[in-house]
Amino acid sequence: MSALPPPPLHFLLSPFVAFLFFATLLFNFIISRRGSTKYMNRRLPPGSMGWPYIGETLSLYTQNPNTFFSKRQTRYGKIFKSHILGCPCVMISSPEIAKTVLVTQSHLFKPTYPSSKQMMIGPQAIFFHQGQYHSLLKKLIQSSLLPSAIKSSIHEIENIVLNLLPFWEKNNTIITLDEMKKYSYEVAMISVFGNKLEANEMEGLKHLYHCIEKGYNSMPLDLPGTPFKKAMKARMVLNDKLRKMIRKRRENGEHGGGLLGVLLGLKGEIQLSDSQIADNIIGVIFAAHDTTASVLTWMLKYLHDHPHLLDAVKIEQEEIRSTRLETNRGITWDDTRRMPVTCRVLQETLRISSILSFTFREAVEDVEIDGYLIPRGWKVLPLFRTIHYSSDFFPNPDQFNPSRFEVAPRANTYMPFGNGAHSCPGSELAKAEILVLLHHLTTSFRWEVIGGGDGIQYDPFPVPKQGLPIRLHRLNDVDASN
């Protein structure tokens, strides 16, 4: 087949074609003008996108995150653009704009995680969803973590503490973070499975969890022998174990307590599949574990470094202890509500450690905020830590000063547990377990930190260097030796 001959020149110059040609040009011109004015009015936030592809990732991960964010905040203001981990993003250090993203316009910003992390936890877990499915899960998870539910497990939480303390005492030195992880893991297991789990079942699950955590915090290299590959294998085994457990509980008609009991007990049209339940069980243990352990580790460090605060906490806890001993009982939920001094130390620890420095969302469409355009698909990072370190809301922010919480912080400036639809449903459990441990630790022991230094390491959350090695001494022994 031969090619078509070129059109004769006079055809191109005919008045009709010339009209079409100029009309098209004019149309394109108007459209492009409209487009550019749209962009002119909706400019991108100020900031630097860094190097091609790697953006500012290296700067963020090779310096103190406080320095990275505060430098840019000083240069560009409360909303600025950057480029990290291969994604263009907008960072936000204003409480009002963070509230818009997390609360008032949260439907325009979906949660976003790397796909390797979603695979590891389970794609049907609460963190990755929005809308109806998310609301249903949130209601169910929250109902298993209500004060009424926590109240009845305080006794078991206390038993975990009483079993762990002698073991810590016996060891010459303990790594606080590791031991706090053991504690928060056992508490998480009770809140998820109720108190029916056999000790060997608990140990088996713990080993798998440990493996998954290692892989979760490593490079997602799907190659033989890598932590990622091992974690994916452990994830499959854990999934099988959980599904067997779920099937057994369904067949026996004994749903048991904890979150699993709530999820299995759904009646009527709305039911969750076994894999939806398994993903959420794995997810909640994940969310509960390292977070609480990291905060506890910081709290021990701050109390150690501020003896006058430790004394004030001890006085408060001693009072509760003597009431307990008079009535011959363990600690109760109501006791944890009568610890204003200890609670303020906890509040300040949550602020100053800000273990979740920021969270990630993604714009589901072009969104205009504070006069700036956030294009669809861009990541949005509300910077919790930067807000917690703003001297506008927390004077002398670097100073550990629990008394600042004698007055409630300004709305939306204090977000250790997030804000809005995805805020933490486990905050009350986390606080209760921290207070129960501190009660026994401060009334029966003193601790010395081994090795100085104020360094920080990321594990994956910021924690004191080497996980804070300490030595515990039972107070009676110290008294006796004096």
Query: Which residues in this chain contact ligand HEM in the complex, by CB under 6 A?
Result: 111, 126-127, 138, 141, 145, 188, 191, 284, 287-288, 291-292, 295, 355-356, 359, 416-418, 422-426, 429-430
Of all residues in the shown chain, the one whose CB is closest to ligand HEM is: 426
Nearest CA to 442 out of 303, 348, 323, 338 is that of 303
**262's tokens:** 């709530």
Helix residue ranges per DSSP H, 253-273: 258-264
- Partners of 47 in the β-ladder: 81
| CA-based end-to-end distance of the chain | 107
Q: What is the tally of helices (H) and strands (E) in the chain?
A: 20, 12
CB of 424 to ligand HEM, least distance (A): 3
* DSSP 8-state assignment for residue 420: G
Residue with Cβ nearer ligand HEM (260 or 373): 260
Residue with Cβ nearer ligand HEM (108 or 424): 424
CB of 237 to ligand HEM, least distance (A): 23
Residue with Cβ nearer ligand HEM (126 or 242): 126
Residue with Cβ nearer ligand HEM (59 or 336): 336
Nearest CA to 108 out of 348, 421, 427, 469 is that of 421
Residue with Cβ nearer ligand HEM (154 or 356): 356
User: Distance of CA 170 to CAs 2, 218, 323, 335, 473, Å?
Assistant: 93, 33, 28, 28, 9
Q: What H or E segment, with its residue span, contains residue 206?
A: helix 199-216
Residues 6+ apart with CB under 8 A from 78: 92, 93, 94, 97, 370
The answer to whether residues 413 and 393 touch, using CB atoms and an 8 Å cutoff, is yes
CB of 329 to ligand HEM, least distance (A): 25
Largest CA distance in the chain: 113
CB of 181 to ligand HEM, least distance (A): 12
Instruction: In whole angstroms, give the CA distance from residue 183 to residue 188.
Output: 9
Residue with Cβ nearer ligand HEM (297 or 317): 297
CB of 274 to ligand HEM, least distance (A): 19
**Angle 449-454-458 from CA coordinates, rounded to 5°:** 100
CB of 37 to ligand HEM, least distance (A): 35
Residue with Cβ nearer ligand HEM (126 or 212): 126
CB of 119 to ligand HEM, least distance (A): 17
